[in-house]
Amino acid sequence: QKSLTVSDIQGRKGGVPLVCLTAYTTPTARLVDQHCDVTLVGDSLGMVLHGLPSTLGVTLEMMVLHGQSVMRGLSRSLCVIDLPFGTYEESPAQAFRNASRLLAETGAAAVKLEGGVHMAETIAFLVARGIPVMSHLGLTPQSVNVLSGYKVQGKGPDAQRILTDAQAVSDAGAFAVVLEKIPQALAHEITQAIAIPTIGIGAGPACDGQILVVDDMLGAFADFRPKFVKRYAELSKQASQAIEQYAAEVRAGEFPAQVHSFGQPA
Ligand code: KIV
Ligand code: NA
């Protein structure tokens, strides 16, 4: 089975919505790959897997390790990997140095980075040198300290700025753009205005695709429940019940039973 390319994804503008999820490890990547067009190794892994308070502490080394794990589970979907905070903002040269390392060491097809107009030069620089770029606008979690929290972005006069950012990253050569936590009318306007697919998360139904953090939609990351996440399972509830039962059975001497044991009973 041939895997999807950047141009396959770009060609889905205005078509059947692109289905995207995050994955951080091989087993989840295998599941995601069966049904999704894009698998994102998101820097959300810092919060979801490593217990960090934000994505700011995620390192390039963490992204390489999880990117390698995810790639072992993929055969069809396009793998995009986040450039973490502090590895690309300084200059196009810094971005290329770190993005090329991510692609070379993981085999992922593309990188994602946060920011609009001020990152356009970097996006063009990377694309010209062989690195496809997905952009990320609206609520950009790496800027949580400037944004003063994880609020809805693009309300009022701020809407025009995000539209301008979307136009800039599209013109700079990004192949798609994530729109996070913005009003659905603005996401609709941007989707109509720019040439590349928009992938929404908390951006309403008008986008060219949707993405969620897989642990959120599976109910596996229990301490986080934003309005835009629909839970398709309650895995942490089930896991908690399973561990409670295991503990009770071990304490009661019920586990392991004979079927779980080798040789004759003592
Ligand atoms: O890190 C991440 O998981 C992301 C998605 C939420 C788009 O950037
Ligand atoms: Na991210």
* Full DSSP string of 25-71: SHHHHHHHHHH-SEEEE-TTHHHHTT--SSGGG--HHHHHHHHHHHH
Q: Does residue 128 share a domain with residue 42?
A: yes
Give the confidence band of 209 by pLDDT, cuts at 50, 70, 90. very high
* Full DSSP string of 199-230: EEESS-TTSSEEEE-HHHHTT-STT---TTPP
What pLDDT is attached to residue 200?
98
pLDDT tens by residue, 66-99: 999 999 999 999 999 999 999 999 999 999 999 9
Average pLDDT over residues 121-147: 98
- C-alpha to C-alpha distances, 40 to 97, 112, 242, nearest whole angstrom: 20, 9, 29
Q: Does residue 40 share a domain with residue 164?
A: yes
Specify the amino acid at residue 29: A
- C-alpha to C-alpha distances, 1 to 39, 77, 89, 221, nearest whole angstrom: 16, 10, 36, 32
Q: Does residue 165 share a domain with residue 245?
A: no
Q: Does any domain span residue 1?
A: no
Helix 158-172 / helix 120-128 crossing angle, nearest 10 deg: 20
Could you give the number of structural domains in the chain? 2
Measured in Å, residue 249 CA sits from the centre of ligand 2 at 40
Q: Does residue 251 share a domain with residue 144?
A: no
Pocket mutation for ligand 1, best pick of 18, 52, 150, 201 (most atoms within 8 Å of C-beta): 201
What burial class does residue 230 get, using C-beta atoms within 10 Å of its C-beta: 0-12 exposed, 13-18 middle, 19+ buried? Answer: exposed
Q: Does residue 229 share a domain with residue 168?
A: yes
Measured in Å, residue 241 CA sits from the centre of ligand 1 at 29
Q: Does any domain span residue 226?
A: yes
Distance CA 194, CA 170 (A): 7
Q: Does any domain span residue 105?
A: yes
Q: Does residue 260 share a domain with residue 156?
A: no
Q: Does residue 243 share a domain with residue 125?
A: no
Average pLDDT over residues 230-245: 96
Residues with CB under 6 A from ligand 1: 22, 40, 42-44, 82, 136, 178, 201, 211, 213
Share of residues in the chain with pLDDT > 70 (%): 100
Q: Does residue 122 share a domain with residue 185?
A: yes
Contacts of 168 (CB under 8 A, 6+ apart): 116, 117, 120
Q: Does any domain span residue 23?
A: yes
Catalytic residue (one of 180, 189, 234, 249): 180
Which has the closest alpha carbon to 22: 53, 47, 52, 56?
Answer: 47
* Full DSSP string of 114-176: E-SGGGHHHHHHHHHTT--EEEEEES-GGGHHHHTSS-----TTHHHHHHHHHHHHHHHT-SE
Give the confidence band of 173 by pLDDT, cuts at 50, 70, 90. very high
DSSP state for residue 110 in the 8-state scheme: E
Q: Does residue 257 share a domain with residue 179?
A: no
Q: Does any domain span residue 127?
A: yes
Is residue 30 scored above 80 in pLDDT?
A: yes
Is residue 136 scored above 80 in pLDDT?
A: yes
Q: Does any domain span residue 196?
A: yes
Is 89 a catalytic site residue? no
Helix 60-71 / helix 26-35 crossing angle, nearest 10 deg: 60
Residue 32 has which token pair?
A: 């995601």
Average pLDDT over residues 97-107: 98
Give the confidence band of 225 by pLDDT, cuts at 50, 70, 90. confident
Question: pTM of the prediction?
Answer: 0.97
Is residue 223 scored above 80 in pLDDT?
A: no
Ligand 1: which atom is nearest the Cα of residue 199? Answer: 7
Q: Does any domain span residue 254?
A: yes
- Tell me the residue range of the domain where 257 lies: 234-266
Q: Does any domain span residue 40?
A: yes
pLDDT tens by residue, 45-57: 999 999 999 999 9
Average pLDDT over residues 122-144: 98
What pLDDT is attached to residue 239?
96
What pLDDT is attached to residue 1?
62
Q: Does residue 166 share a domain with residue 44?
A: yes
Average pLDDT, the chain: 97
Report which protein residue has its CA nearest ligand 1's atom 2.
42
Report which protein residue has its CA nearest ligand 1's atom 4.
42
Give the confidence band of 120 by pLDDT, cuts at 50, 70, 90. very high
Q: Does residue 251 share a domain with residue 147?
A: no
Q: Does residue 139 share a domain with residue 253?
A: no
Residue 167 has which token pair?
A: 């136009």
CATH code at 150?
3.20.20.60
Among the bound ligands, name the one nearest to the CA of residue 211: 1
Distance CA 36, CA 21 (A): 7
CB-CB contact of 83 with 113 (8 Å):
yes
